[in-house]
């Protein structure tokens, strides 16, 4: 849920420190809050007590992979409505469809196109704002 005059919180679940820094830099002046977590199990643990407005989810993660994280989040009434954008190097034919089938709402490939990332995040946060209004 987006609250007026409240900075949207983006959870970045990414095990590569360089990619975490990149996403933090992209959104540092956007008014968004960004929290980074390095593995799937830690993300699920964090989500037990926190509720981001959007999740950027790498699919290749240690502990629990992003495919399973997405499945678990969409199976829970508490987290099912949080938009999940897969951010992944999995770019073979059928990977996007598999990501969507596992519960991701959208799909971006690495290396990241910064303009596309910004547009995608804005689209999903705006959509969430409209649904909450």
Give the pLDDT confidence of 66-104 residue by residue, as tens digits. Answer: 999 999 999 999 999 999 999 998 778 888 999 999 999
- Which residue range is the domain that position 74 belongs to? 9-14+37-132
Cβ contact 8:32 at 8 Å: yes
Q: Which CATH number characterizes residue 68's domain?
A: 3.40.50.2300
In the chain, the number of structural domains is 1
Q: Which residues on neighbouring strands pair with residue 34, listed in sequence order? A: 10
Give yes or no for residue 115 having a pLDDT over 60. Answer: yes
Domain membership of residue 20 (yes or no) is: no
Cα separation of 44 and 99, whole Å?
Answer: 18
């Amino acid at each position: 849920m987006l609250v007026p005059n409240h900075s949207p919180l983006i959870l970045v679940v990414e095990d590569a420190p360089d990619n975490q820094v990149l996403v933090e830099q992209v959104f540092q002046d956007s008014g968004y809050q960004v929290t980074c977590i390095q593995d799937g199990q830690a993300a699920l643990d964090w989500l037990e007590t926190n509720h981001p407005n959007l999740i950027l989810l790498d699919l290749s993660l240690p502990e629990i992979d992003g495919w399973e994280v997405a499945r678990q989040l969409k199976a829970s009434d508490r987290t099912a409505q949080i938009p999940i954008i897969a951010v992944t190097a999995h770019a073979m034919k059928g990977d996007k469809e598999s990501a969507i089938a596992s519960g991701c709402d959208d799909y971006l490939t690495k290396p990241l196109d910064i303009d596309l990332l910004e547009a995608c995040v804005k689209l999903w946060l705006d959509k969430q704002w409209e649904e909450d209004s």
